[in-house]
Chain A
Amino acid sequence: MGDEDSQPGEVTLARPPGGVGPYARTGTELSGRADRDPPSPAGRGAHAPHANTLPRGPEAGWKGYVNDVWIGGAGMTRFGRRDEKLPDLMAEAALAAMADAGIDRPDAVVVAAMNPEEFTGEGNYGSLIATRLGLSHVPALRVETATSSGVAAVYMAFAAIAAGLHRSVLVVGGEKMTHLATPRVSEIIGRSIDPHEKSYGTTMPALAGLVTRAAMHRRGLTLREISQVAVKNHAHGARNPYAHFRDPVTLEAVMESRLVADPLRLYHCCPISDGGAALLLTVERRAVRIAGIGQGGDTLAVRYRRDLTSFRATQAAAAAAYRMAGFGAERVDVAEVHDAFTPFELISLEDTGLVPPGKAGRATLDGETAIGGRLPVNTSGGLKARGHPLAATGISQLVELCWQLTGRAEGRQVEAHVGLAQSIGGLATNNWVTLLEGRR
């Protein structure tokens, strides 16, 4: 490895280790159809990983996949405090998705669960869920990328169908958490933090607090703006029968709720929820197509990042998804973003290019991102109100978009043809952006 630090777009002969295949597309390389990439975020490149050198794009005879992938069916459980066991919650969602698709014998099952070993004491979740569903003869596996595990599973299923390995794949994700005390849940989720940083007592809320304060200082986010996200998403959740929280909250209640990790308050944070969500992906032409899906990564250690106030992993995922779809943010009508902490919704809207830099807070205060606004965001209530059963979350975002694109989002329906979902894994170490397109 004799080459110096490679710059994005630079042609080098050294092939990065393991940098081939679909993952290579989601790196920071900026070659190919640059006109379709969102604006390149500032401040990148100083620590750019090696540019991938394999030719890609239509001009290289490589469009990225073989088969179009369609969502044949979608289903989810009501999120919240649930008495059922995790396999039962996953089965409820999976059976709903299979019934919706009219397919009860998928070629494969992909299961997403972030940490059932610790939360429920059960393991071997691929086989466990396949057997619970009466699909024990169907190949099953489990996928994990921390809190974005659900979309990682969707990606595996997408890849299998896109490549022609399978014709239909069931994706199901879920988590059961509410039976444990909050400190124990925090501790389990906290295992996705860099071990050194964790040894300083950092938790997800602590890291989010650091991000929030930096974003307020450098990007001018205000307490009112991040609080309004909670108000909006609770109002949306009140219209969603699947949501954990069905009660609206006032701006005052949010701004006066107790401090969790200064400046983050309780109502800026998503709840601990149980639930499951599922999709049945198929090569058959159906109502909704996965137009683009992209993954982006960043350092596990937050101290290794140059910028706290935007997430490189989201930017890379969005660039990859837009490139695959062949269109950009301008075509998105509705979005589900990862508001585990309400400032993350504002950061994510800007990282995905849905809202110009520095405008997300204002857009929220102006009602642009509410149902009825220019770009409805988190019509389901988001993680904030729909709830956040970790590995179910990313899939449930796509379930909501599916319902929105097919006119089945009762009580909260918006006019939409293209939807975007963004999912954050860990403290933005492993993020995903997915674009769904409804058939006209």
Chain B
Amino acid sequence: MAETLAASRCPRGRRLVVPPASRCPDHPVRMAAAGVAPLGEVVSFTTLHSPPEGFRAPLHIALVELEGGARLFCHGDETEGVKIGSHVSVEAVDAIVYFSHMGFADRARLFWRRAGARGERRASIGKSVVKGMWSRRSRGND
């Protein structure tokens, strides 16, 4: 997994944006430089069948929410198997960010890192199981 993505944070509202921007959209202040891990969840995605000039069809576009709340647009090779809430890693190639599915090992590593100290791991595992059951249940309603 790659290094951090360049981002900006508003000193007043704490909003984090990617790519970096000089001004906050909510406050008339200059944003400070920040970095975010290139890992996140899919907020939504679409496949454009007649993309604008300069893009090949089908064009897979996803909106991904990174850790810390910044959202960014990404391209992908496919959306097969992608769901809202899917864990993805993102990587910038020639100024365009691409998303890709995280493998099991990546997800496990991420989970372990997030879980933090050993004492909290048990609670995290519990939370994860509940979350999994819940998302499976709500998906059934779609």
Determine whether A84 belongs to the interface, using a CB cutoff of 8 Å to chain B.
Answer: no
B127: interface (CB < 8 Å): no
Q: Are the C-beta atoms of B46 and A201 separated by less than 8 Å?
A: no
Q: Do A217 and B84 have beta carbons less than 8 Å apart?
A: yes
Contact B25 A210 (CB under 8 A): no
Which chain B residue has the least Cβ–Cβ distance from A16? B28
B96 in the interface (beta carbon within 8 A): yes
Q: Is the CB of B47 within 8 A of A261?
A: yes
Across the interface, do B47 and A259 meet the contact criterion of CB distance under 8 Å? yes
Residue among B12, B44, B53, B73 making CB contact with A4, cutoff 8 Å: B12
Counting CB contacts under 8 A, is B104 at the interface? no
Question: Quick one: closest B residue to A208, CB to CB?
Answer: B46
Contact B48 A203 (CB under 8 A): yes
Contact at B63–A262, with CB atoms within 8 Å? Answer: no
Contact with A along B46-74 (1 / 0, CB 8 A): 11111111110001010100000011111
Give the CA-CA distance A261 to B52 in the complex, in Å.
12
B48 A201 Cβ-Cβ under 8 A: yes
Cβ–Cβ < 8 Å partners of B47 in chain A: 209, 259, 261-262
A5, A17, A222, A263: the one contacting B28 at CB < 8 Å is: A17
B53 touches A49 (CB 8 A): no
Per-residue CB proximity of B23-45 to A under 8 Å, as 1/0?
00111110000000000000111
Q: How far is the CA of A211 from the CA of B45 in the complex (A)?
A: 9
Interface contact B25-A299, CB-CB below 8 Å = yes
The reply to whether A47 and B13 contact each other, CB–CB distance below 8 Å, is: yes
Asked if B52 and A210 sit within 8 Å, CB to CB, the answer is no
Given A196-B19, A201-B55: A210 and B141 interface contact (C-beta under 8 Å): no
Flag whether A301 is at the interface (Cβ < 8 A). yes
Question: Once the chains bind, are B142 and A190 in contact (CB under 8 Å)?
Answer: no
Complex alpha-carbon distance, A306 and B18, angstroms: 14
Chain B, Cβ-Cβ closest to A259: B49
CB B18 to nearest CB in A, in angstroms, measures 8
Q: Across the interface, do B25 and A304 meet the contact criterion of CB distance under 8 Å?
A: yes
Closest A residue, CB atoms, query B54: A201
The answer, yes or no, to whether A220 is at the interface (CB within 8 Å) is yes
What interface size band does chain A fall in? 35 or more
A200→B44 contact, CB < 8 A: no
Q: Is B90 an interface residue (CB 8 A)?
A: no
By a CB distance below 8 angstroms, the chain A residues around B71 are: 303-305
Give complex CA distance A143, B49 in Å. Answer: 34
- Find the A residue at minimum CB distance from B47: A262
Contacts of B96 in A (CB 8 A): 200
CA distance A220 to B47 in the complex (A): 20
In the complex, chain A residues whose CB is within 8 Å of the CB of B52: 183, 186-187, 190, 201, 203
Closest A residue, CB atoms, query B19:
A196
Q: How far is the CA of A273 from the CA of B137 in the complex (A)?
A: 43
Report how far A203 CA is from B59 CA in the complex, Å: 11
Contact A303 B63 (CB under 8 A): yes
- Cβ-defined contact, A210 with B44, below 8 A: yes
At the interface, yes or no: B17 with Cβ under 8 Å from chain A?
A: yes
B22 vs chain A, min Cβ distance (A): 13
Contact of A183 among B15, B18, B44, B50 (CB under 8 A): B50
Is B75's CB within 8 Å of the partner chain A? yes
CA distance A308 to B42 in the complex (A): 12
Max chain B C-beta neighbours (<10 A), residue from A4, A200, A214: A200
A42 lies within 8 A of chain B by Cβ: no
The answer to whether B29 touches A214, judged by C-beta atoms less than 8 angstroms apart, is no
Across-interface contacts of B13 in A (CB, < 8 A): 5, 47
Bound-state CA distance A261–B60 (Å) is 9
Assembled-state Cα–Cα distance A299/B10 (Å):
15
Q: Which residues of B contact A302 (CB under 8 A)?
A: 63
Point out the residues of chain B lying under 8 angstroms from A363, CB to CB.
none
Complex Cα spacing A301 to B52, Å: 19
12 A-B pairs in the complex with CB atoms less than 8 angstroms apart:
A5-B13, A47-B13, A187-B53, A202-B48, A203-B51, A206-B51, A209-B46, A213-B44, A260-B49, A260-B50, A261-B48, A303-B63
